């Protein structure tokens, strides 16, 4: 029998690690499926379903197997968490599934791949951890009323869930990175396993602890050592990698090329050069330019033209990585670490030029930055004679619902929009819009709005029929 104190501690720690699984799953899959409410809803739904099944199964376990089942579940969970959610495994899984389903209509959707990952990796992991509450109730002191014991156990596990969400996302990932977050959560599960073991040792229990120790060692290698060699930085928001060859360097964020700079001419992607031309076609001396989506900070890498650049990006570590490993020099301008829409809502400052370069591809569009309301905010923050320069990943022929509606949305929020196109291929390309403040309120049908936006759904459907201009 496990003491009440140990039961309470195990419940708290198990709840903490369970929420850690959810936070890490969201973070690790963002590089492959994007970060949208659709992705998050799939992860949360699978998490809750697996948790419910775990509660049910734990309650059906035979009495003589309570302690052993609890210990085995914790040990297996360490392996599933530490290896199954490591970047090397997640990368292998999604790339393999993408190759297998490439020619199968309906199954090549990234959301389907995410669902399969949740059902095969995250689901079984949470199923095991979900059994902890009913198993502990049966191994603890039986003198307490069942209703009181069940209520207390659920409350303790839920408190652990709350702490785990905050600890993993706001503390561990932010200060230590994703790899160490996984290692620490796995170590917490190992502590739970030690607390389960009674003072009487047995060969089986010793063997299971040995397996746990080996799993922790593998977890450290898979989540700290290997990513440390692959990435310049891993942050709560992204994996950042610098790829270089004789021609230049690429800044890769979550497997998508966010920026490029030539080794000799310091030029960037064609759409970047288009945006530079749009910026510097006028005299910008003394003007203030806001760039939403810093990328590689390349818009001012060659020259500033006497303008004052302010770059904004949600990832606070991006600036130091770019300065040290990409540009290899200080950025030309100021940097603000904040969400683009939140910044525009809270800052009433107006700008001569606002650049929007937030979309790596259609599958990773932040939904709240692709609506009429967002673009209207951008327009409001322009000076009367200011201009907006937007990079939109869309089909230049506007032959799909996503591309057509996105074009309508942009043109409704601004006026006098002209478009430069990097390619006329029938697929997703970089479209550069040059727009001014709106001069009329003529209605345009088919807009993406906050309360009814389908930008992610339409974007996924469009992405299935082509790829962006830059890979």
User: What average pLDDT score do residues 111-119 get?
Assistant: 95
Q: Which residues of 440-456 are buried (b: 16+ CB within 10 A; e: fewer)?
A: eeeeeeebbeeeebebb
User: What average pLDDT score do residues 67-71 get?
Assistant: 87
Q: Read off the pLDDT band of 192 (50, 70, 90).
A: very high
Residues near 71 by beta carbon (within 8 Å), at least 6 away in sequence: 193, 196, 197, 205, 208
Q: Are strands 233-234 and 239-244 parallel, antiparallel or unpaired?
A: antiparallel
In the predicted structure, residue 356 carries a pLDDT above the cut 90: yes
In the predicted structure, residue 363 carries a pLDDT above the cut 60: no
Asked if 226 and 265 sit in the same domain, the reply is: no
pLDDT the model gives residue 422:
79
pLDDT the model gives residue 2:
74
* pLDDT above 70 coverage of the chain, percent: 93
Candidate ranges 108-112, 259-263, 315-319, 435-439; pick with highest mean pLDDT: 315-319
User: What average pLDDT score do residues 215-227 get?
Assistant: 94
Asked if 184 and 300 sit in the same domain, the reply is: no
Asked if 226 and 247 sit in the same domain, the reply is: no
Residue 468 lies in a domain: no
Asked if 204 and 347 sit in the same domain, the reply is: no
Return the higher-pLDDT residue of 46 and 141: 46
Query: What is the C-alpha radius of gyration for the chain, rounded to an integer number of angstroms?
Result: 25
Residue 471 lies in a domain: no
User: What average pLDDT score do residues 288-317 get?
Assistant: 94
Asked if residues 19 and 51 have their Cβ atoms less than 8 Å apart, the reply is no
Using CA of residue 321, residue 86, residue 127, residue 39, what is the dihedral sign? positive
d(CA 414, CA 378): 9
Residue where a domain stops, chosen among 209, 230, 251: 230
Q: Which domain holds residue 375?
A: 239-463
In the predicted structure, residue 306 carries a pLDDT above the cut 50: yes
Return the higher-pLDDT residue of 4 and 121: 121
pLDDT the model gives residue 143:
62
Q: Read off the pLDDT band of 265 (50, 70, 90).
A: confident
User: What average pLDDT score do residues 291-309 get?
Assistant: 93
Q: Which residues of 388-419 are buried (b: 16+ CB within 10 A; e: fewer)?
A: bbbbbbbbbeeebebbbbbbbbbbbbbeebeb
pLDDT the model gives residue 255:
84
pLDDT the model gives residue 228:
87
Asked if 452 and 334 sit in the same domain, the reply is: yes
User: What average pLDDT score do residues 415-437 get?
Assistant: 86
pLDDT the model gives residue 117:
97
pLDDT the model gives residue 161:
94
pLDDT the model gives residue 467:
46
Asked if 88 and 196 sit in the same domain, the reply is: yes
CATH of the domain at 195: 1.20.1250
pLDDT the model gives residue 442:
47
Residue 356 lies in a domain: yes
| Total tally of structural domains belonging to the chain | 2
The pTM (predicted TM-score) of the whole model is 0.82
Q: Read off the pLDDT band of 198 (50, 70, 90).
A: low
- Closest by CA to 395, choosing from 367, 368, 419, 416, is 419
d(CA 91, CA 42): 19
User: What average pLDDT score do residues 134-153 get?
Assistant: 75
The gap from C-alpha 259 to its chain's centroid, in whole angstroms, comes to 19
Return the higher-pLDDT residue of 114 and 266: 114
d(CA 349, CA 354): 11
Q: Read off the pLDDT band of 116 (50, 70, 90).
A: very high
Return the higher-pLDDT residue of 440 and 20: 20
Q: Which residues of 327-358 are buried (b: 16+ CB within 10 A; e: fewer)?
A: beeebbbebbeebbbebbeeeeeebbbbbbbb
User: What average pLDDT score do residues 74-97 get?
Assistant: 95
Asked if 148 and 283 sit in the same domain, the reply is: no
Averaged pLDDT score across all residues of the chain: 88
Residue 54 lies in a domain: yes
CATH of the domain at 451: 3.40.50.150
Q: Read off the pLDDT band of 1 (50, 70, 90).
A: low
User: What average pLDDT score do residues 456-470 get?
Assistant: 65
Residues near 457 by beta carbon (within 8 Å), at least 6 away in sequence: 38
User: What average pLDDT score do residues 230-240 get?
Assistant: 89
Asked if 268 and 404 sit in the same domain, the reply is: yes
Residue where a domain stops, chosen among 200, 230, 260: 230
Residue 469 lies in a domain: no
Residue 470 lies in a domain: no
* pLDDT above 90 coverage of the chain, percent: 56
pLDDT the model gives residue 319:
95
In the predicted structure, residue 22 carries a pLDDT above the cut 90: yes
Task: Enter the tokens of residue 423.
Answer: 């390619």
pLDDT the model gives residue 33:
86
In the predicted structure, residue 441 carries a pLDDT above the cut 70: no
In the predicted structure, residue 114 carries a pLDDT above the cut 80: yes
Asked if 211 and 244 sit in the same domain, the reply is: no
d(CA 406, CA 14): 44
Asked if 318 and 457 sit in the same domain, the reply is: yes
Asked if 422 and 275 sit in the same domain, the reply is: yes
Candidate ranges 141-145, 182-186, 270-274; pick with highest mean pLDDT: 182-186
Residue where a domain stops, chosen among 210, 230, 250: 230
Asked if 333 and 447 sit in the same domain, the reply is: yes
Residue 458 lies in a domain: yes
User: What average pLDDT score do residues 391-418 get?
Assistant: 90
Residue 19 lies in a domain: yes
């Amino acid at each position: 029998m496990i003491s009440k104190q140990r039961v309470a501690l195990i419940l708290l720690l198990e709840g903490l690690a369970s929420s850690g699984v959810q936070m890490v799953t969201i973070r690790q899959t963002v590089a492959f499926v994007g970060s949208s409410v659709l992705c998050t809803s799939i992860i949360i739904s699978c998490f809750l379903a697996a948790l419910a099944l775990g509660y049910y199964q734990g309650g059906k376990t035979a009495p003589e197997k309570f302690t052993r089942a609890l210990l085995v579940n914790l040990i297996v969970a360490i392996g599933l968490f530490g290896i199954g959610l490591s970047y090397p495994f997640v990368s292998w899984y999604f790339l393999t599934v993408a190759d297998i389903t490439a020619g199968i209509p309906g199954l090549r959707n990234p959301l389907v791949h995410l669902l399969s990952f949740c059902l095969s990796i995250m689901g079984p992991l949470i199923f095991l951890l979900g059994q902890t509450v009913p198993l502990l109730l049966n191994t603890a002191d039986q003198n307490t009323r069942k209703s009181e014991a069940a209520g207390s156990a659920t409350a303790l596990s839920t408190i652990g869930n709350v702490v785990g969400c905050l600890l993993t996302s706001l503390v561990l990932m932010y200060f230590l990175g994703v790899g160490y977050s996984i290692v620490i959560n796995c170590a917490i599960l190992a502590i739970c396993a030690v607390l389960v073991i009674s003072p009487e040792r047995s060969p089986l229990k010793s063997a299971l602890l040995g397996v746990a120790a080996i799993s922790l060692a593998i977890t450290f290698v898979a989540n700290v050592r290997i990513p440390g060699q692959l990435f310049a930085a891993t942050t709560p928001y992204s994996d950042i990698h610098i790829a270089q060859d004789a021609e230049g360097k690429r800044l890769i964020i979550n497997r998508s090329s966010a920026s490029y700079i030539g080794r000799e001419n310091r030029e960037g992607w064609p759409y970047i050069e288009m945006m530079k031309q749009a910026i510097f076609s006028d005299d910008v001396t003394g003007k203030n330019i806001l760039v939403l989506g810093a990328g590689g900070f390349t818009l001012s890498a060659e020259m500033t033209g006497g303008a004052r650049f302010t770059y904004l990006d949600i990832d606070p570590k991006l600036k130091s990585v770019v300065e040290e490993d990409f540009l290899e020099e200080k950025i030309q301008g100021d940097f603000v670490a904040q969400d683009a829409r939140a910044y525009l809502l809270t800052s009433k400052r107006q700008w001569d030029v606002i650049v929007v370069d937030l979309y790596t591809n259609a599958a990773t569009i932040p939904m709240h930055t692709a609506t009429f309301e967002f673009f209207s905010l951008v327009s409001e923050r322009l000076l009367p004679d200011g201009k907006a320069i937007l990079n939109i990943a869309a089909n230049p022929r506007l032959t799909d619902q996503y591309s057509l509606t996105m074009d309508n949305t942009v043109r409704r929020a601004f006026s006098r929009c002209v478009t430069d196109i990097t390619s006329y291929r029938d697929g997703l390309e970089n479209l550069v819009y040059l727009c001014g403040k709106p001069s009329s309120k003529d209605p345009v049908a088919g807009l993406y709005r906050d309360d009814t936006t389908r930008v992610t759904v339409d974007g996924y459907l469009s992405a299935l029929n082509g790829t962006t201009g830059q890979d």
